[in-house]
Structure 1
Amino acid sequence: MRLRSGRRRSTDEEPASPATTPGQAVHAVELRGVRRQYGRGAGSVHALAGVDLALTRGTFTAVMGPSGSGKSTFLQCAAGLDRPSAGSVRLGGTEITGMSENELTELRRSRVGFVFQAFNLLPSLTVAQNVLLPMRLAGQRQDRHRAAAVLAQVGLADKARRRPGELSGGQQQRVAVARALVTAPDVVFADEPTGALDTGTAAEVLGLLRQAVDQLGATVVMVTHDPVAAAWADRVLFLADGAFADGVERGSAELIAERMAALTARTARVGAGVAA
């Protein structure tokens, strides 16, 4: 099955129901009462102020918010890259909050995929070797057939032996998407995945993420500042002052932009009131 890029799923279509096996958690990501505080005393910063969230498997969620709203901290805590000051985080039904660093590293390598604004490909490795890197780091058998399959899914079947430097930016981000999907993770976290791409190439990459959800049953959580990117998601959640303040189900880019503008203005007024 090849993923076709650049086509937005009709809002009249329901998201594919994720298939679960007996004992498999319905939720890919769960945060309960998650707080993250940096520093102590009067100078402390509450980046997350009690976040409660459960994301069903096989869904695409976008997270937006004004600068300083807690988007990056949310992603880092949800993905096990940072530890919350309080609360509980579960990935694929597994409680990760109390895990050791070694356990978290192993979990991230085998059960979590990442796509970043910077492609983070190793220039000395071939495309296929970059895709297989999560398996290699996790100590798993490097399944070349699996690498070929995911590269075909992102439209790069003929680029497996190339080096990243021989590819365009959009192609490199496709490799990053393939790498994120190769272990069939519980969830793919995407942090501004189209921030370094032009509009047309961004649409292709977003189409791949969208169809990874619709066709492969993947779960995607994407942090973005771009309403056009967010419109590819099933659901958009808005963060303000470390808590979710609003949400839109399968909204247009225009509606999302309006909600974002209103939230930013409201946050600015509250901040001005506090400063006064």
Structure 2
Amino acid sequence: MRLRKGKRRQVEGRAEVDDRSGAPAATPGLAVELRGVRRQYGRGAGAVQALAGIDLGLPQGTFTAVMGPSGSGKSTFLQCAAGLDRPSSGSVRLGGTEITGMSENELTELRRSRLGFVFQAFNLLPSLTVEQNVLLPVRLAGQRQDRRRAHAVLAQVGLADKARRRPGELSGGQQQRVAVARALVTRPDVIFADEPTGALDTGTAAEVLGLLRSAVDTLGATVVMVTHDPQAAAWADRVLFLADGVFADRLERGTAEQIAARMSVLTSRTGAAAGVAA
């Protein structure tokens, strides 16, 4: 399948737009681009606005952490940005490719071939070996399974000697490193990580975050991570803070202490606003 890219044209001297959807043209150099993205659940008086108009561009080869109070829209943001959920309105591009209007089959192929995912629960198949788990995205995409590539990424995450093991024989940290290797095996445009260290102890979490950091610094990958942990967010180039479905603050290269302080202020603001609304 050929992924559809937005066609550009000039309209009466105005900025270029996508002549298929009317959305603004893609911005060069951005790995992730959301314009006017809204996501509403339900209708009428009971409707919930999970995302209330997101405008965001993340450059290629960067590490971004997304934080926010409970219910701020973090998970919805990640799902819409990764093509796992469809926004109610707005435009989402990954690597310049407009994905909003793609069919489910096209989205599935894009996720298998151009995106990597790391989840808190590891999501490894217990009946498969470590090597088979790593190669699963390649197999599902119908591509040739390159065992040399699998061993290369396993070596990158320090598990070259565990290829024949099964997930149940590994520690939690080792299983998450397998998940990172699986995310890297297709050389993805973007790696989306959802609370990747939530089930790990501090030392093991640092190892996994170091792997994601290395993927950015040495492989040129783009990482977008949702986390509640300031220590994890401190590994990122920037931290974006969500509140009530919009990005309310950002911090460049912050320490864990600075990030925690920003989160505390944001949480107190949103709590106060909720109290007023109640």
Normalising by structure 2, what TM-score? 0.90
Instruction: Please state whether the residue corresponding to 1:149 is helix, strand or coil.
Output: helix
1:200 corresponding residue in structure 2: 203
2-structure distance, mates of 1:181, 1:53: 24
1:129 corresponding residue in structure 2: 132
1:228 and 2:231 are equivalent in the alignment: yes
1-structure distance, mates of 2:33, 2:262: 25
Name the Cα RMSD after superposition.
1.1
Instruction: Please state whether the residue corresponding to 1:232 is helix, strand or coil.
Output: coil
1:55 and 2:55 are equivalent in the alignment: no
Normalising by structure 1, what TM-score? 0.91
2:104 corresponding residue in structure 1: 101
2-structure distance, mates of 1:160, 1:26: 36
CA deviation after TM superposition for structure 1 residue 25, in Å? 4.7
- Give the number of aligned pairs: 253
Which of 33, 36, 53 is the aligned partner of 1:30? 33
Which of 152, 155, 158 is the aligned partner of 1:155? 158
| Post-superposition CA distance 1:147-194 (Å, at most 9, x none) | 011000000011111111111000000000000010011100000000
CA deviation after TM superposition for structure 1 residue 26, in Å? 1.2
Which of 245, 248, 251 is the aligned partner of 1:248? 251
2-structure distance, mates of 1:24, 1:33: 15
1:112 and 2:115 are equivalent in the alignment: yes
1-structure distance, mates of 2:167, 2:177: 11
CA deviation after TM superposition for structure 1 residue 211, in Å? 0.8
2:79 corresponding residue in structure 1: 76
Which letter maps to 2:258?
A: L
2:170 corresponding residue in structure 1: 167
Instruction: Please state whether the residue corresponding to 2:139 is helix, strand or coil.
Output: helix
2-structure distance, mates of 1:141, 1:91: 24
Structure with higher RCO (Cα < 8 A, 6+ apart): 1
2-structure distance, mates of 1:144, 1:71: 36
1:190 and 2:193 are equivalent in the alignment: yes
| Post-superposition CA distance 1:103-134 (Å, at most 9, x none) | 10010011110000001000111101000000
2-structure distance, mates of 1:158, 1:59: 30
1:219 corresponding residue in structure 2: 222
